[in-house]
Structure 1
Amino acid sequence: MSKSIAEIISAGEGLRTEFKSRIDSPAKIAKTIVSFANTSGGLLIIGVNDSGVISGVTSELTELQKLEKANTDFIDPKILIQIKSEQLNGKKVLLVTVEESKEKPHYVVSDKGARTIYVRVKDKSVPIPKLLLYNSDNLETEKLLASKHVKSLVAYLRIEDSVNARFYSRMINVSEKRADRMLHDLAARQILLKIPGTKPEAFSLKWTE
């Protein structure tokens, strides 16, 4: 891990980081684990609240049991996670590492059997109807990623949360209609992800190197 845990906590939650003071329920934490595995992987830190304040876990065993139940009862196919405990400011926190999965898509399975795909958008786990996978062997996609317009967009979205067609059209000096087509094409290739419920329609960065 290139950054220390303290540095990660200081940077706050994001695409690949989430804090939980404790696990509320196996069903809820399953959404976070699945969204990390379906996107770019991530680190779940238990014992830290949303503001980055270290509260520590009161019972490591209880949190581990909830993680196990989440994987066993609410995730399909199951996801290999790595769990490590650390002392921070005299308090114990759990570090749950979830790698980007080669078996995606993974589903969150409800008590009633409903199956939902979750992905990571900014610092949230959001449901989507289906998951299209980025194919690194696709020469057309590789060429697209190497283009000036897409390079500019990816660089922008590594800093900002999202972009819409109007803003992108001004960024690359094309019509809004063309910018909209380009954004949807990138979403279809799973380089971008359409953010549900946004008006005007917005996109975030899905693919990362």
Structure 2
Amino acid sequence: MHPLEKMIKEGEHTRQDFKFFLNDARKIARSLAAFANTEGGRLLVGVKDNGRIAGLKHEEEEVYVVEAAAHVFCKPVVKYTTRFWEYGGKTVLEVQVPKSNRAPHTAPDETGKHTCYVRKADENKMASELEIAVMKITHSAKPFTFTINSQHERLLEVLRRWEQTGDYDLKELSRQSLMTRKECITALAGLIASGTIQTPR
């Protein structure tokens, strides 16, 4: 099986997205940033949502859109590599984005405001405050060390009480843990990054 066929057969998922064509660098910046902020991934340009290979229409222009998305609209700049695949007389552009150690990366939303995005299933979603805090730890080039202190123990006790319902919000969690919102997010991020708990719902 051709390598391109194999990739397309996977369908769209957390680490893969199909694009029929590229004409909006701001929109593509969201995909690049989301891949870099999550586990990395690739865009296959010239492939329709249903997996049908349409091929590139304007090769140079679409390469330029990717370059503008990564270097102009992503902050900080997102690293990527490109490769062209020839199949059935048509050309497909593969844009490969590695997981970044400079996350969080942001890209303009519909209003132009720079926003942090992550990949969830086959979509780009705005990251929560907690996701951004975890990202700063797990994507850092610096070694991560974590020691549970009294704040963490108090937070874990509240989480254990809530396990039965699984229904809470950050404001209430902060109140019951006797922390500020910022302290609560920092503590949760450390517990998640260390593998002590899973990301709360």
Give the alignment of 1:43-192 within 5 angstroms.
Answer: 43-109=42-108, 114-130=113-129, 131-132=132-133, 133=135, 134-135=137-138, 137-138=144-145, 176-177=164-165, 189=192
Shift in Å at residue 113 of structure 1?
A: 5.6
**CA 1:23–1:114 in structure 2 vs 1: closer, same or farther (change >3 Å)?**
same
> Closer, same or farther in 2 for the Cα pair 1:96/1:137, shift >3 Å?
same
Q: Which has the higher strand share?
A: 1
Which residue number in structure 1 is paired with residue 20 of structure 2?
21
Quote the Cα distance in structure 2 between the aligned partners of 1:128 and 1:81.
21
Aligned-residue CA RMSD (Å): 3.1
Q: Residue 9 of structure 1: CA displacement?
A: 0.2
Q: Which has the larger radius of gyration?
A: 2
User: Who is 2:185 aligned against?
Assistant: none
Question: What are the superposed Cα offsets for residues 4-24 of structure 1, whole Å, 9 maximum, x if unpaired?
Answer: 221110110000000001013
Post-superposition Cα deviations, 1:89-127, rounded to whole Å, max 9, x if no partner, equal: 221000000000000000113697622000000000011
Q: TM-score, normalised by structure 1?
A: 0.65
Identity of aligned residues (%): 28
8 Å CA contact 1:46, 1:57 repeated in 2: yes
Structure 2: tracts of 5 or more residues without a match: 149-161, 174-187
- Unaligned residue ranges in structure 1 (runs of 5+): 142-173, 195-202, 204-209
CA distance in 2, matches of 1:83, 1:70: 14
Give the deviation of 1:129 after TM superposition. 3.9
Aligned residues: 158
